[in-house]
Chain A
Amino acid sequence: MWYQDSFDVIVVGGGHAGTEACLAAARMGCKTLLLTHNIDTLGAMSCNPAIGGIGKGHLVKEIDALGGLMAEAIDHGGIQFRTLNSSKGPAVRATRAQADRLLYKAYVRNYLENQENLTIFQQPCDDLILENDQIIGVSTQMGLKFKGKTVVLTVGTFLAGQIHIGLNNYQGGRAGDPASVNLASRLRDMPFRIERLKTGTPPRLDARTLDFSVMQEQPGDTPVPTFSFMGKAEHHPQQIPCYITHTNEQTHQVIRDGLDRSPMYTGVIEGVGPRYCPSIEDKIMRFADKASHQIFVEPEGLTTHEVYPNGISTSLPFDVQMDLVRSIKGFENAHITRPGYAIEYDYFDPRDLKQTLESKFINNLFFAGQINGTTGYEEAGAQGLVAGMNAACRVQDKEGWTPGREQAYMGVLIDDLSTLGTKEPYRMFTSRAEYRLLLREDNADIRLTEKGRELGLVGDERWQRFCEKMENIELERQRLRGLWVQKDHEATEKLNPMLKNPISREANLEDLLRRPETRYEDLMSIEAFGPGLADKQAAEQVEIQIKYAGYIERQLDEIDKKKRHEDTLIPADFDFAQISGLSNEVVAKLTDARPETLGKASRISGITPAAISLLLVYLKKHGLLRKTA
């Protein structure tokens, strides 16, 4: 039976990718359906209760700059906020917040329910409906069919999930939820390349059975940071601290003794886990000389006693989990509320996707989130937004768009995935971005909001605030450039003590601010220069832009050089073997990755500059040398 209405965009899955995808499409004016197997788990955090961190915080700010929800939701659901790397430069500073799961989820659900153009429906999706190589809708468990011009699949955490606790294992999505088995087996019939990955969680504990007095308290920062460019500290609920404790030799002995029943070490689990988020059994085996490992004791919310001991993810049998937990300082009497487990799941080789996250094989079908081999809410949300936006572009007959590597971490994420693929759950790190000094949290709006407005993603309120901020920055920089100080200026008395070398020849305020030892705020405290901007975000921008100026320029130069053939398109069905002179190895690599552009081809490991030259010459000879718009 066909559902009465047909949709522009159908989003399957209500996790973090699905949420941003359906919101983006709806914001752009598309008639959007969110199809989820359970409305009550919309916006649920299936792993640790936190948003942000290095690289991830950058993604959240980018989602926000494009009008997305994640930053706003965590501003309203966060119970401990910190700025990481605050002692280092602004490019690598990142915001991280502990979340109250219930508050976060409630905010997301409420937001979704009130979004214009968005319909929510609860039924597991069982199948995709295709016409030739184009998707035209989906069908659900009870046989209901939905017609859609485009479909965004964001069913990552549930695809053929297999949960392991000790040597026991069973099918399941997140603990407590069913796995999408029918959809997974249906997708296996299609021409996608499918692999397995693995991840894990720690056992959850009852706070009433823990002794916090022997742990180290970790309070949030003051002043309290916010995520959204529109956010205010007043949006935050009550703030509470986290705690830190450590494993010890006894813990490690318990784990070593239990390894014979570990699904990891007995070879039951075949999926590849992340290198940066190893289970506790992995940590003590691989770093045997380390006597102790940190555990972050994170509250799950204001209205629950459950805590998340971050750092002891494990799939050891439950009795071993009990012993290992109780060997830890402060956990001696701990009660485990939910056992830890490892989960294996399917993912789709993201090299089968275009830069817009549309499938290379099935038109109008988009993939976003963990299904593409990533891990993390932020990575999922970022892809969701890009996929939902590109689905909407398709419906509206507009050219698709994905930010480039030089524009956003979103661009780095999607380019890495669609060009190189991934062998482990992909997580963002700042070291993945070659233009790290440009891609900062603080300027995510400057990088993206204008484009977001053009696409219809950014609402009036945000746009007005953005324009006001940009104007403040520009006017203030003009003012600083015009403010000159000589040796005998009245302000030197207060100024010179702030400087490493006293002022010797005429300089304007931008010159002074370029000196590493000066601070905008301090300079503005001098009467002759002040009072400076009241708009804190704009003031911060002025300072950072001036301090990083030389490096920003150099990175822009580098980007310019790389642009040369970056967007030169390689035809989709191109046969690399017909280019004479390419080695078999290069042909195999290119055929495997199917790069869409010369730029992407050049980033594949083992593709030499000479190979790119040969490709270029071939394309030119055959009149195929065209660029993307």
Chain B
Amino acid sequence: MSEKSLSNTETIAAQATPPGRGGVGIIRVSGPLASRAAEKLLGKIPKTRYAEYLSFYDQDQEVIDQGIALFFKGPNSFTGEDVLELQGHGGPVILDMLLKHIVSLDNIRMAKPGEFSEQAFLNDKLDLTQAEAIADLINSSSEQAARAALHSLQGDFSKLVHQLVDDVIHLRMYVEAAIDFPEEEIDFLADEKVSSSLNGLIEQVADVLAKAQQGAIIREGMRVVIAGRPNAGKSSLLNALSGRESAIVTDIEGTTRDVLSEQIHIDGMPLHIIDTAGLRESPDKVEQIGIERAWKEIKQADRVLLMIDSQQDDRVDPTEFWPDFFNQLPDNMGLTIIRNKADISGQSCGFKLSHDKPTITLSAKTGDGMTALTDHLKQCMGYEGNAEGGFMARRRHIQALESAQHHLLTGQEQLLSFMAGEILAEELRITQQALNEITGEFTSDDLLGQIFSSFCIGK
């Protein structure tokens, strides 16, 4: 087997710097079409391995940004393939516009989380001893991406997308049944139903796309959720971090009944701090709902700060005195133990690893130990934020939706002009494939299952 056959034949692109409001943002393109991307974005291919200061253009030849462009010819590049790197200003909107232009080019797609490093490794650009690190990176960045996608998929947008997918499946069910079971007196292709649902779908996609483009649904930055027992001082910590009295603090357990969220910046990097209701068995209906919401937030978090009282014995592993919490916590969730109320327990403030968990002792009330926390969060952002932010997630969604729209329109044309049912079926299959990127897989056997449960099929 030649090493060449291992390499990616596809060209991939993604943001290579952590999302957020950093000073510089880098977009990387890797693969055989990297030079074509350069021509389109820069109007030229930069001289190999020389930094050039150039304008970056969008699809309409308007200048989006100016910055440094670098071109590396494979195999002498990070991934071993042709690589284009664009270093521009770090704002998420600009980077998103650049990426949008790149992935609009034929045969260039968004990179999967960790894919650049994976490619580099497979092309012998990284040491074999780094395999574990690459594996970790792929793992953590996939989880990050999944969480970022979840954030982007909230509220109305999520409802619309899921409705859209359901409707595509419903239509495919009719079309596929007509093809695979022509003797069942269910030739839907001939009746109005198929073409009218197709029309409806096309309107729906346009609607979802419009909403997605508005950007109202997007949230950038790492999500940090504060969780813990009632009255552990979670709301005090939120207030201490945000420097505001956002949360009502009392010494009555269960004061925070809903989810409170604050956006803060640490060195210009955005961070969502989310305060949740204390977790306990509660007979109170309202509090129960708050606890449910708290768990929902925890599951979508990039990092959880588990607040405990520093008067607790620190020789006991936290997993032992609260196994329920740890059992419910998603696998590989970033977790930091906050030992609060140092002012009462008299413990020394600061960061240490305790029972293999990052642990910070502080007092939210006096502010002692807060710098240790912000330093720690900054570090987390550097690592965990490395993967994918809301804009990347949204860009993926928009790409999927645009592809879906294109194939629905082609399918409609085929159906109307030529009554070509099998072509419509093919376009719908690809539409679904695109939408699967957002909502997860749906197999041909799932589809058959839908057909058999909806129509009485079989001799």
Give the contact stretch, choosing among B85-93, B160-168, B346-354, B449-457: B449-457
**Cβ A275 vs Cβ B449 within 8 A:** yes
Shortest beta-carbon contacts, A-B, top 3: A610-B142, A621-B131, A275-B452
- List 22 interface pairs A-B (beta carbons < 8 Å), by A numbering: A84-B182, A88-B189, A88-B421, A92-B422, A275-B458, A293-B456, A294-B184, A294-B459, A311-B458, A430-B179, A432-B448, A437-B426, A516-B420, A517-B418, A610-B114, A616-B122, A617-B122, A620-B121, A621-B128, A625-B6, A626-B1, A627-B5
Give min CB distance, A569 to chain B, whole Å.
Answer: 10
Apart from A88-B420, A277-B458, list 8 A-B contacts with CB within 8 A.
Answer: A48-B459, A54-B180, A85-B179, A561-B9, A564-B8, A580-B132, A583-B331, A617-B138
Check A276–B458 contact: CB distance below 8 A.
yes
Partner of B420, one of A89, A617, A625, A626: A89
B118: Cβ under 8 A from any A Cβ: yes
Select the stretch in A97-105, A126-134, A283-291, A463-471 that faces chain B. A283-291
Binary flags per residue of B415-427, CB closer than 8 Å to A gives 1, else 0: 0011111110110
**Given A276-B458, A283-B456: A617 touches B135 (CB 8 Å cut-off):** yes
Q: Which chain B residues lie closer than 8 Å to A91 at the CB level?
A: 422
- Closest Cβ–Cβ distance, residue A442 to chain B (whole Å): 13
Tally chain B residues at the interface, Cβ within 8 Å: 55
Check if B139 sits within 8 Å of A581, measured CB to CB: yes
The stretch of B210-218, B232-240, B439-447 that contacts the partner chain: B439-447
Q: Which positions 385-430 of chain B face chain A at CB distance < 8 Å?
A: 417-423, 425-426, 429
Cβ A276 vs Cβ B422 within 8 A: no
Q: Does A545 contact B (CB under 8 A)?
A: no
Complex CA–CA separation, A276 to B132 (angstroms):
47
**Cβ distance A376 to chain B, nearest Cβ, rounded Å:** 12
Q: In whole Å, how far is A472's beta carbon from the nearest beta carbon of chain B?
A: 26
B 212-249 to A, binary, CB cutoff 8 A, 1 in contact else 0: 00000000000000000000000000000000000000
Q: List the B side residues contacting A89 at CB < 8 Å.
A: 420-423
Q: Is the CB of A581 within 8 A of B421?
A: no
* Closest residue of B by beta carbon distance from A555: B426
Q: Mark A401-434, 1 if CB is under 8 A from B, else 0.
A: 0000000000000000000100000000111101
Residues of A contacting B457 in the complex (Cβ-Cβ under 8 angstroms): 275-276
Minimal beta-carbon separation of B187 from chain A (angstroms): 8
The verdict on A560 contacting B9 (CB below 8 Å), with A431-B444, A583-B331 known, is yes
Chain A nearest CB from B195 CB (Å) reads 15
Q: Cα distance A560–B10 when bound, in Å?
A: 10
B182 adjacent to A580 (CB under 8 Å): no
B138 and A581: CB pair below 8 A?
yes
Q: Tell me if A613 is interfacial: C-beta within 8 Å of chain B.
A: yes
Q: Are B112 and A437 in contact (CB under 8 A)?
A: no
- Which of A55, A564, A613, A627 interacts with B138 by CB under 8 Å? A613
Closest chain A CB from B77 CB (angstroms): 19
Question: Per-position contact with A for B91-132: 1 when CB-CB < 8 Å, else 0?
Answer: 000000000000000000000111100100110000010011
- Which residues of B lie under 8 Å from residue A274 when comparing CB positions? 458
- The residue that B422 contacts in the complex, of A287, A437, A564, with Cβ under 8 A, is A437
Chain A residues with CB under 8 A of B417: 516
CA distance A620 to B452 in the complex (A): 43
| Cross-chain contact B441 with A614 (CB below 8 angstroms) | no
CB closest chain-A residue, reference B443:
A605
- State whether the Cβ of B281 lies closer than 8 Å to any Cβ in chain A: no
Cβ contact of B131, chosen from A278, A293, A437, A617, cutoff 8 A? A617
**Shortest beta-carbon distance from A229 to chain B in Å:** 22
Chain B contact surface mostly = helix
**Given A610-B138, A617-B118, A551–B449 Cβ distance below 8 Å?**
no
- Does B207 have its Cβ within 8 Å of any Cβ on chain A? no
- Which residues of chain A are near B384, meaning CB under 8 Å? none
Partner of B180, one of A286, A311, A431: A431
Q: Does chain A have a CB within 8 A of B134?
A: yes
Contact of A610 with B180 in the complex, beta carbons under 8 Å = no
- Bound together, the chains give a CA A85 to CA B459 distance in angstroms of 17
Contacts of A564 in B (CB 8 A): 8-9
The answer to the question of B176 belonging to the interface, with a C-beta cut-off of 8 Å to chain A, is: yes
Residues of A close to B447: CB separation below 8 A: 431
The digit string for A588-629, where 1 denotes a CB below 8 A from any CB of B, is 000000000000000001001110011011101100011100
Tell me if A335 is interfacial: C-beta within 8 Å of chain B.
Answer: no
Residues of B within 8 A of A85 (CB): 179, 182
B residues 1-35 in Cβ contact with A at 8 Å:
1, 5-6, 8-10
For residue B112, which residue of chain A has the nearest CB? A609
B283-311 interface with A by 8 A CB criterion: none
* Contact present for B182 and A54 (CB under 8 Å): yes
Distance of A67 Cα from B81 Cα, bound (Å): 45
A436 at the interface (CB under 8 A from B): yes
Q: In the complex, which residues of chain A have a beta carbon less than 8 angstroms from the beta carbon of B1? A: 625-627
Report whether B9 and A92 are in contact in the complex, using a CB–CB cutoff of 8 Å.
Answer: no
Assembly CA distance A574 to B441 (angstroms)? 26
Using known A-B contacts A437-B422, A610-B113, determine if residue A618 contacts B135 with beta carbons closer than 8 Å.
Answer: yes
Interface membership of A310, Cβ < 8 A: yes
Q: At the interface, yes or no: A366 with Cβ under 8 Å from chain B?
A: no
Asked if A296 is an interface residue, CB under 8 A from chain B, the answer is yes
Contact of B136 among A429, A581, A626, A627 (CB under 8 A): A581
> Is there an interface contact between B459 and A88, defined as CB atoms closer than 8 Å?
no
Tell whether, in the assembled complex, residue A277 and residue B459 are in contact, meaning their CB atoms are under 8 Å apart. Answer: yes
A625 and B131 alpha carbons, distance in the complex (Å): 14
Asked if B383 lies at the interface with its beta carbon under 8 angstroms from chain A, I say no
CB atoms of B183 and A84 under 8 A apart = yes
Task: Give the chain A neighbours of B179 by CB distance below 8 A.
Answer: 54, 85, 88, 92, 430-431
CB atoms of A278 and B458 under 8 A apart: yes
The distance in angstroms between the C-alpha atoms of A91 and B424, with both chains bound, is: 12
User: A551 — which chain B residues lie within 8 A by C-beta?
Assistant: 423, 426
B181 contacts chain A at the CB level, 8 A cutoff: yes
- In whole angstroms, what is the CA distance A287 to B139 when docked? 46
Q: List chain B residues, Cβ under 8 A from A293.
A: 456
Chain A residue nearest in CB terms to B173: A431
B132's nearest neighbour on chain A, judged by CB, is A580
- Nearest CB on B from A324, distance (A): 16
**B185 at the binding interface (Cβ < 8 Å):** yes
Q: CB-CB < 8 A to A54: which residues of B?
A: 179-182
Q: How far is the CB of B33 from chain A (nearest CB, A)?
A: 13
Set of chain A residues within 8 Å of B421, measured between Cβ atoms: 88-89, 92
Residue on A nearest B115 in the bound complex, by CB: A613
Does B135 contact A88, Cβ atoms closer than 8 Å? Answer: no
Could you tell me if B444 and A432 are in contact, using CB atoms closer than 8 angstroms?
Answer: yes
**Contact pattern, A 80-118, Cβ under 8 Å of B = 1, otherwise 0:** 000011011101100000000000000000000000000
